Structure 1
Amino acid sequence: MYESGKDCSSQAFAPRQDGAGRRVLVAASEIYPLAKTGGLADVCGALPKALSALGADMRMVMPAYPEALDAAGKLQVDMAAEIGGETLRVLRGRMPDSGLPVWLVDCPALFDRPGTPYQDASGQDWPDNFLRFAVFAQAAAMLALGYNSEGWRPDVVHAHDWHTGLLPLLLHAETGPRPATLFTIHNAAFQGNFALNEAAALGLDRGYLTPQGAEFYGQFSCLKAGIRYADAVSTVSPGYARELMTPEFGYGMEGLLRQRQDRFLGIMNGIDADVWNPAGDPHLNAHYSRPDCGGKAACKRELQRSFGLAVENDAPLAISASRLTSQKMADVLLTSIPAIMAEHPRLQLALIGRGDRQLEQGFTAMSERYPGRVAVQIGYEESLAHRMHAGADLLLHGSRFEPCGLTQLYAMRYGTLPLVRRVGGLADSVIDCDDIATPWRTGFIFDGISGDALQHALRRGLAVYERQREDWFALQRNAMAADFGWRRSATQYLQLYRRLGGAWAPEAARPLEAAIG
């Protein structure tokens, strides 16, 4: 399949016998801080650091977008190849935050473009996205098979989301020794479905292009390829794992996931507790901690000033910080704003995000309709996201579905109470203030996707804020005490990597649940 001066077929892989020291290659379309459009980048930046701290030998690979090349600093050419008619180089460097090794697949014809990694400046998907990520997957497969300057070979390749769905298929197609593969679904709504003839052009065996392979309603599905051919499949919360096996949330993949349920599990995402830390966050004008939250009031005043809101410390300030899409119930929030503003005359709302153009325009119009009370910034700015979580009282984070959600975890870390829908990872991470089964209540949960459901939850939240201040402060302390760091989840991943061992290991055929604590 590949052309190279190195021959790796004569050397068998040697899977490690314990979790520490496990060699793992993480493949993703975006990794923070090299490139970020959302939570995928945060996960793929933070999880390898946590795994490395536990003793794993971690390396990463992602496309060489212009911003990634700028952030990576000093790079060396590790390999050159021609794949899919495209000439590329694989550059080797170090992550600027952790110092972990990273490879960047440098193909300017495919990755040196304006816009986002997936869309042009007008918000349209790049028409050659299949080729772009197919070339990336093939380059990552070469690295995984030892075609790199050090001859380094992973025990496990951990591929993330549809952009890397071809990678488990390519390694499955290898007839010689190969690493085990884990494919993680971050959002099953994004599937990477393309014309079958584009996949056929890769020279894949015809069996991969059938319904028993990666064909999906007449198209080739990169997501299905990852689910079908990886040695194990995971997703980003236990709740979402259960939901994905139902027609409501599975987006057509529920049958395949049920077939593979003994090889499929959910591991909760975490957050980088060093990056998201109100006690030392460099983006904040004042610091605070769970024992002493005094600095949060200063952060609130700064946020109000920067958004042009009335600087009133006692006025409840709610934020929304997510993509402006129907998935995130942005449409429900938008149509609910007039009723919310009328019912709660002291409430302030600050919103940051981008997405659907009509929703962007709608929220901008609301900021003009309610000056000093509603403020909107279209786009994303990392520093502002930190300041918003630090300065707010409430996070409005409804979702029609939510694989995990990181925003509510960031909010709780900063003592901003989340108001979420009972779905996926939101239900796994937030405990409602009226849940008498536990004293560790951390927020407000609602059911349904209507404006009435959202407004009822907001009504409950503001009642506590305005009339039960001691209860409010107790909820804040509970939220800030919640442990959503990566260590626990990273330990589960290490157990999973150890369980996989290698694709040839007899124990790899057994169910995984018993091996994951």
Structure 2
Amino acid sequence: MKVLHVCSELYPLLKTGGLADVMGALPFAQKEIGIDARVLLPAYPAIVAGIPNTVVVSEFDNFAGHVILRYGEYNGLGIYLIDAPHLYAREGNPYHDQWYNDYADNYKRFALLGWVGAELSTGLDSWWRAELVHSHDWHAGLTSAYLFNKGRPARSVFTIHNLAYQGQFSHHHLFEIGLPETMFHIDGLELHGQISYLKSGLYYSDAVTAVSPTYSREITTPEFAYGLQGLLNTLQHQDRLYGILNGVDDQIWSPNNDTYIKDHYKLKSMTGKRKNKKKLQEYFNLPRKSDALLFVMVTRLTEQKGVDLLIESAKDIAQEGGQLVILGSGSPHLENGIRHLAETYPENIAVKIGYDEALSHLIIAGGDVILVPSRFEPCGLTQLYGLKYGTLPLVRATGGLADTVVDSNEDNVKSRSATGFVFNDATPKSLSGAIKNAFLLWAKQRTWSSVRSNAMQQDFSWLISATHYNALYQKLSRDH
């Protein structure tokens, strides 16, 4: 089957979040199981730099101006690039300027992405035609609307990576992006009087997926649906809403061959993990105590990620003689909050504001517990990395976190199903309880090693995810 992924970023060429990690792995895994997968991206400078050798597939003028469609390959994967410098030739973040203001023409930039995605199912490339178009997040949400407007020449799948970001734009832009006024109503593009690119993906696609089974259920409730629970409940009742868990790219995230760390290790040979812990303590100038329980966190500093909960609970780690390392950036008040923690407990807590890919690998390899206390988490990847590296995840029971981590309570430890620590309520008190449980388990080193062994044996490979997507594609193809 010929499958086109429509998206706005791809690791390692351009990354702002987990979407890039997914797109840098899923199409490759699909090719491994025989799917003819390709990817469509805007020709951002970083993308172009990583795919320098391209050929022109098509050249045209439409509502977005003059556009060239190019084709190249990245590590054997076919990539289409939308070459429209007036829209995409901007250094830095693909969505906003250096002051975090959204680009005023985002409605047009991402409408063009969806328009080209639909056109690639009808012969824009005379050598290859998509049979199924799989679009990702609001940036690609209009793809399914354009397919609908063209008579649905291909089947369509839309994946929600994070429902919180919806891509809403003024109604008056509708005539600028080549869609008819008849599609602007509650059974269509309209949401609260605006065009919603995310709602377009939900409403017009043949199937909608969320990036974990639990998240697919959570988004049908008012707490998680951001006003879209009616539509999402309808999709669920129509058997059009699915939850397919993301995977881990073993080529990048594996303690036995991680290119960012020098001291490799594996389940039956864990010496390298102790060495990484020592290097991590040295990097952050913390006491080199191998027996100190070392908590780590690599995250965007937002309330969604539960950073405020940790700021309230971190003193419990320090008072128990544990250590905490945090890498991230985000809301200024949260950055200040964790800086204050490090100043208050310099022997126990260390912080680096910003992002550092190499350091993130050392942190996950060297830590004992990785903290993911999110208020909501569509899938989550850092807890999966923690499992692979034997860095036990401590998570809140939400979304993909609930689907991937099993609490180390007495029964689960006995049955050898425990893989980490889970708490239920998004409160400092509940988080503190899980932190206490981690210290209690750490005091029993043989039991800790058993739980860690079980964690490292969990399989969340992308081949499993690719197989689930293939089953959905085949179902849609049969129903066509």
Structure 2 length-normalised TM: 0.96
Contact 1:285 1:302 in 2 (8 A): no
For residue 23 of structure 1, what is the amino acid of its counterpart?
A: K
**Contact 2:6–2:113 (Cα < 8 Å) also in 1:** no
* Maintained 8 Å contact 1:200/1:209: no
User: How far, CA to CA, are the matches of 2:316 and 2:91 in structure 1?
Assistant: 38
Matched letter for residue 69 of structure 1: V
Alignment gaps of 5+ in structure 1? 1-21, 509-517
Indicate whether 1:498 and 2:474 are aligned.
yes
Cα distance in 2, alignment partners of residues 147 and 114 from structure 1: 28
1:387–1:83 CA distance, 2 compared to 1 (3 A): farther
CA displacement at 1:93 relative to structure 2: 1.3
Out of 392, 400, 408, the residue aligned to residue 417 of structure 1 is: 392
CA contact 1:83–1:138 (8 Å) conserved in 2: no
- Residue 148 (structure 2) pairs with residue 169 (structure 1): no
3-state DSSP class of the match of 2:251? coil
User: In 1, Cα distance between the equivalents of 2:143 and 2:8?
Assistant: 12
Give the CA deviation at 1:306: 1.9
Matched, 1:54 2:33: yes
1:433-485 CA-to-partner distances (Å, cap 9, x unmatched) read 016254221000001111111111001001211x1001111111111000000
Give the deviation of 1:155 after TM superposition: 1.4
Within 1, Cα distance between the matches of 2:371 and 2:432? 10
Following superposition of structure 1 onto structure 2, how do residues 460-479 of structure 1 map, counting pairs within 5 Å? 460-465=437-442, 467-479=443-455
Gaps of 5+ in 2: none
Report the counterpart of residue 342 of structure 2 in structure 1: 367
Aligned-partner Cα distance in 2 for 1:367–1:497? 49
1:6 — aligned with what? none
1:242 counterpart residue number: 217
Assess if the C-alpha contact under 8 Å between 2:190 and 2:196 holds in 1.
Answer: yes
1:74/1:307 CA distance change after superposition, 3 Å: farther
Q: In 2 relative to 1, CA 49–126 (structure 1 residues): closer, same or farther, beyond 3 Å?
A: same
Aligned to 1:355: 330
**1:340 partnered with 2:319:** no
The residue that corresponds to 1:306 in the other structure is 283
Compare relative contact order (CA 8 Å, sep 6+) and give the higher one, 1 or 2. Answer: 1
Structure 2 CA distance for aligned equivalents of residues 119 and 77 of structure 1: 28
C-alpha separation in 2, matches of 1:341 and 1:228: 46
- Counterpart selection for 2:461 from 479, 485, 491: 485
Give the percent of matched residue pairs that are identical in Structure 1 and Structure 2. 42
C-alpha contact 2:368 2:391 (8 A) present in aligned 1:
yes
SS in 1 for 2:305: coil
Provide the aligned length of Structure 1 versus Structure 2: 476
Contact 2:108 2:177 in 1 (8 A): no
User: C-alpha separation between the residues in 1 aligned to 2:323 and 2:87?
Assistant: 43
2:24 aligns to what?
Answer: 45
Amino acid of the structure 2 residue aligned with 1:114: E
Which secondary structure does the structure 1 equivalent of 2:330 belong to?
Answer: coil
Question: Do 1:285 and 1:298's aligned partners in 2 also have CA atoms closer than 8 Å?
Answer: no
Letter in 1 for 2:49: D
1:157-306 counterparts in 2 under 5 A?
Answer: 157-175=133-151, 178-261=153-236, 262-306=239-283
Question: What RMSD, in angstroms, separates the aligned Cα atoms of the two structures?
Answer: 1.6
| Equivalent pair of 1:134/1:166 in contact (CA under 8 Å) | yes
Q: Which residue of 1 aligns with 2:62?
A: 83
Alpha-carbon contact 1:350-1:374 (below 8 Å) kept: yes
Quote the residue 1:449 is aligned against.
Answer: 426
Residue among 25, 45, 50 paired with 1:66: 45
Look up the match of 1:385: 360
Aligned equivalents of 1:381, 1:199: Cα separation in 2: 40
The one-letter code matched in structure 1 to 2:234 is Q
TM-score (normalizing by structure 1): 0.89
How far apart, in 2, do the equivalents of 1:85 and 1:282 lie?
41
1:513 alignment partner in structure 2: none
> What is the alpha-carbon distance in structure 1 between the residues aligned to residue 327 and residue 89 of structure 2?
27
Aligned twin of 1:5: none
Per the alignment, residue 129 of structure 2 pairs with 153
Q: Deviations over 1:104-147 (max 9, x none)?
A: 21222222223311122222322222121112221222223220
Instruction: Map 1:119-134 to 2 at 5 A.
Output: 119-134=96-111
The reply on whether 1:113 has 2:90 as its aligned counterpart is yes
Q: Is the 8 A contact 2:252 2:259 kept in 1?
A: no
Q: Kindly indicate whether the alpha-carbon contact (under 8 Å) linking 2:64 and 2:108 is maintained by their aligned counterparts in 1.
A: no
SS state at 1:497 partner = helix
Could you tell me which of 77, 81, 87 is aligned with 1:104?
Answer: 81
Query: 1:8: which partner in 2?
Result: none
Query: Structure 1 406/208 Cα, relative in aligned 2: closer, same or farther at 3 Å?
Result: same
Name which of 124, 144, 156 aligns with 2:121: 144
How far did residue 362 of structure 1 move? Answer: 2.4
SS at match of 2:340: helix
